[in-house]
Chain A
Amino acid sequence: MSESSPHLVVRGVSKRYGPTTVLDHIDLTIRRGELVTLLGPSGCGKTTLLRAIAGLAQPDTGKVELAGRDITNVPPHKRNVGVVFQSYALFPHLTVAGNVAFGLKVRGAAKREIDAAVERALSLVKLGHLGGRRISALSGGQQQRVALARAIAVEPDVLLFDEALSALDRKLREEMQVELRRLLQDVKATAIFVTHDQDEALTMSDRVAVMNKGRIEQLAEPRELYLRPASLFALNFVGLSTRISGTVLAADNGKVDVETKLGRMSALGNFQAGSPVIVAARPEQLRLGEQGEANSAAGRVRSVVFQGSRTLVEVDAGAGESLLAELSGRDGAIPRVHDEIRLSWPVTETFAFPMEAQA
C-alpha cells in the first residue's frame, strides 16, 4: 500500500444515545503513517468516534474501513487496533512485561517471538529495565509508557489515544508530546489522538480535526487551522483572536464590507448583504498605528500581559467590543494600561464568520 492511499476511512458514521446525536455523519480519511488529532470540547463526540474506530461503540449508520478491510461489523478483538486509554487500563495482576506480552499471547505467538517483541517495545519507550516490575510500582509517566508499549507491541494498523496524556502533569506531558510524536514517526505508525488540549493537538499532529456537536468543523494541518479557521468555533477553540460583531453592507467576490460599532471594516468571506457576522483576526496581525489597506480601531488599554517573547495587549474599544494584540518586544514601545492607542490589521488576515455559530 502506498504512503498516500487511504488507510483508515470513516464514512457517514452516526451515533445517537437516546435523544442526543453524538456523531452526525462523520467522514474522515486518514493516510498511512499520518498522525491525526480529534480536537474538541467534552461532549463533542471525539471519544465516541475513537471508540467506533476501535469497535468499542457500534455506529448506528456508516462504515469504517481499515487497511483496505471493511471493519464496520468486526468485533474489537479482530480489528488489529491499539488503544491507549486515559486511565491506561494496565492489567494490575500482570507485570510490565506481562502487560506488553498480552496482545501477542492471546494471538498465540511463539514464546521466543513474544520475548523479542516485548523487549523491542519496552526499549522503544525506554523501559527496557523494568519488565519484571508490577504495575503498581510504576509512576504515572512510566505507566503511560507501558500502555504505549503494550499497544505498539502487536503492531496494530492504527493506534488510538484517548486523552492518553491528560493524566500527566504539565511538564511531563509536554515532554511526552514531543517524544511520542518522534517515536510514532520512527515506527511509521498511523495514529489518532483524542484531546481537548489545543497545544497537544498542534504539537502532535499532521492534521487536526476540530469537532463540535458531533461534526468535524474543520480538518486541516495545524498551521492552516490556525491561519485559516473554517468556522467561528475553530477560530475560538484554537488560539486567541479579536472578534467584532457587525452587519454585511456589501459583498464582492469573497470579500465583504462590514458595518461594526467600531466603524466600517473589510474581511474575507462570502455573505449576502444584511447578514449578521463576526469579523475576526489573530492577535499577532494587530499592529500599533495605521497601515495602508487595513482595518483599524482605537481604544484604551485594559491589560498588558508580558509573556517573554511576546506581550498580549487587551484594548477596550468601547461599545462592548475589545481588541487583542500580540506585540513582540521588537515592535518598539509596548503601551501601558490606560494608554489610548490605535491598532490596525491587514484585510487579508481578517475573516468573517456567520454570527449564529457563536461557541
Chain B
Amino acid sequence: MTSAVTTAYPVTAPELSGAARGRRRNFGPWPWILPAGIGILFVFGYSLVDLLQQSFKYRGAWVGLDNFRLVVTDPLFQTAIFHNALLLFTVPILVALALLFAILLFETRRGMRFYQSAVFLPYLLPIPVVGVVFGQLLQLNGALNSGLRALGLQSFALDWLGDPNQALVTMSAIIIWKEVGFGTILILARLISLPTELLEAAQIDGAGFFKKHLKITLPQLRPVILFYAINEAIVMVSWVFNYVYVMTNGQGGPGDATMVSELYIYRSAFQNQAPELAAAAAVLLLISTLFFIVGFFKVQSRSQSGVLDE
C-alpha cells in the first residue's frame, strides 16, 4: 500500500505544496470513511442510544435497573438464553461436517461441481421457505414419518416439532443442514488455494488419507475454521429468530421448547407491548454477542494479515 502511494505521487502531486501533502498524509483514510461512517453512526448509533435509554425507562419514567432485573429473573428469558447456549453445541458439529464435506469434495475428482452445488444449495434457500417445507415434512403424519412407517421404522417416526423434548434438537438439525454449506464452501476455497507440494510429498512418503489431512491440511485451515466457528456462534446466539419464528408460528413452542432470546425480544416488543423489557433483553443480548463479535474481528484481522494475503 505504502509503495503504491509513493510511486503514484510524483505523477499527480507536483502542484501540491509540501504543507498540503502533509495534511493529506495526516488525514489518512478518514476522509474516505467519514461519509459512510456518519451514515452508519446516524442510523445505528442513534438507535443504540435510544435502545439503551429505553432499557432504563418505563413509559418514559426512569426506573434504573428494574427492567434488567425483571428480564433476568424471567424464567422464559432464562429458558431462551439456555436454548441459545444449547444451540452453541451445534457449532462443533457444523465445523466437523463442513470440514468433512470440504475434504471429500476436495478429494472428489468427478462431479465436484455438482456436489459443491448440492451442499451449498440449502444455504441459498430463504429461511421462510426452509421453515415452511420442514414444518410440513416433519409433522407427526408428514412425509418423513410416512416414509419411515412404510419402511417398518415406526419407532423412528417421532413428533419432530410437536414434542417438547424433541423440538429443539430437530430445529438444530435443520439449522445445521442449512448452515453447513457455507462452511463447506469457505473451507474448500481455502483448501484449493493451499500449496500442493506438501500433500504430494506426504503421499509419496506413504501418508494415508486421515494422516495427510490431520497433519498437513488441518493446521493450514485453522484461521478459516476459527472464522467459520465464530461466525456460526454468532448465528446461534442472535440469528436463529427466523427459523424459530417460521417453524413454530412465532410461539417458540411447543410450550417454550424452542424459545430463543431473539424471539423473546420480538414478542416483548411487538406482541406483549413491553418495549422497555425488550430493550433490556436486547442490551443483554448485545453484551453477550459482543464477546463473539470481538473474537470475529480478531480472527478477521488475522485472516487479512495472514490467510487472505497468501
Please say whether chains A and B are actual partners in one complex.
Answer: no
